[in-house]
Amino acid sequence: MGLLKLVKNATLLLLVFVSFGIIFNYVVREELVEITKFEKRLEKLNQKLMNDVDDSSIKENATLLTLAKNSELFEIVKMVLNYESKFNGKYRYPWVFLNNEPFSETFKNTIARLTSGPVYFGEIPREQWDMPDSIDTERAEASWGSMAMRGIIYGGKKSYRQMCRYYSGFFWKHPLLDSYKYYWRVEHDSNLLCDIRKDPFTELRQRNKTYGFVITIKEIAATIPSLWNTTMEFVETYPELLAPNNLWDWISKDQGKDYSLCHFWSNFEIADLDFFRSDAYQKYFDYLDNSGGFFYERWGDAPIHSIALSLFLDKNQIYFFKDIGYEHSPIVYCPDNNKHCSCDTAYGDLEDPNSCIFKYLQVAGEF
């Protein structure tokens, strides 16, 4: 009886393993089938767009940029197809993908087949990604635990802080971006909702703009308790770096006493990289970085970019791409003029209580 029971158990275990293998192979096969379908759609799209591209048109010195992980491949395939369909299939700009670990051959080969322009894959230097030795690890981890307990989004994640610090102070220093003037940040799970009929890079250049955005929102105050005070210390130390006609009244509601929490949502930004390469921005980042706030708190790159832009640029150098429909969960922006969009204009409501666009338009003199 004991031997019979053992045989039955072994048979059951074998059936479980076989079933798991069948299910796993099915899931993988289905994902590969979906990717193949996407590739065929893109090939047809590229053939169509080849007839629409004017080879004599001016193409800017620009690139798209995405930070990615190997595990995000399926999401990135969908994102790339979306951006190629709505924008880049026509203009064929290069695309740079960066990772804090080496990209797999599967990742590189798959993405290379989907992009209409050149594609480059790079690894982020460890010294720019890792937590600095100057950070008190025990103090930092205690802060992460406290934020996680309070339910603050990404409050307990070290990797999120590393990403925010990298986007705040290092991304433009990667050798793959050295030769470019403009960049468009593209998140792996973002989505364009409109056909882009004007080259945004060309718009920046022709309008003499430095930075372009779509969405403005308020930051979570609990993630940046000391950011504004640290910024004011910097301003007192380097008052000569402030632009005379800046957006001070947008980022501070009471002449500098407090931060309004308003910021450009930097998961979508189209910018002149020379701003981040500037002496003013580098000094500001270094000052913030030395305080440890990226790890002792949860400083995001969005408020840091936005405060710097608002202090160091003339307000006329910032541009609202109001005709670009964009989605990055949980926020959607849809233009009022949405003839070439697949979204609802209600999402562009200026009266959203968490939006800062109405005040921005007032301060910038556009409303």
Domains of the chain: 59-363 (3.90.550.10)
Q: What mean pLDDT is reported for the chain?
A: 88
3 state DSSP class of 176 = helix
- Report how far residue 199's alpha carbon sits from residue 318's, in angstroms, rounded to the nearest whole number: 17
pTM of the model: 0.86
Q: What is the pLDDT of residues 146-203, one digit of tens each?
A: 999 999 999 999 999 999 999 999 999 999 999 999 999 999 999 999 999 999 999 9
Burial call 268-278: b when 16+ CB within 10 Å, e when fewer: bbbbbbebbeb
Q: What is the pLDDT of residues 94-138, one digit of tens each?
A: 999 999 999 999 999 999 999 999 999 999 999 999 999 999 999
Kindly report each contact of residues 128-131 with a partner whose C-beta sits within 8 Å and lies 24 or more positions away, as own/partner.
128/166, 128/169, 128/170, 128/173, 129/100, 129/162, 129/166, 130/162, 131/158, 131/161, 131/162, 131/295
Residue 350 has a pLDDT of 56
Kindly report the backbone phi and psi dihedral angles of residue 279, in degrees, each rounded to the nearest multiple of 5, phi listed first: -60, -40
Closest CA to 49 of 85, 100, 2, 10: 85
Contacts of 63 (CB under 8 A, 6+ apart): 93, 94, 95, 96, 177, 180, 182, 183, 184
- Residues annotated as catalytic are 269
- Report how far residue 153's alpha carbon sits from residue 161's, in angstroms, rounded to the nearest whole number: 12
3 state DSSP class of 298 = coil
Task: Output DSSP code: residue 358.
Answer: H
Tokens of 310: 């608002």
Task: Output DSSP code: residue 352.
Answer: -
Kindly report the backbone phi and psi dihedral angles of residue 274, in degrees, each rounded to the nearest multiple of 5, phi listed first: -65, -25
For the chain, residues with pLDDT lower than 50 are 3-4, 6-7, 14, 16-18, 20, 23-24, 27-28, 48-56
- Tell me whether strands 269-272 and 211-213 are parallel, antiparallel or unpaired: antiparallel
Kindly report the backbone phi and psi dihedral angles of residue 208, in degrees, each rounded to the nearest multiple of 5, phi listed first: 60, 45
**Residue 11: exposure state from Cβ atoms within 10 A (0-12, 13-18, ≥19):** exposed
What is 97-137 written as a DSSP string?
EEESSPPPHHHHHHHHTT-SS-EEEEE--HHHHSPPTTS-H
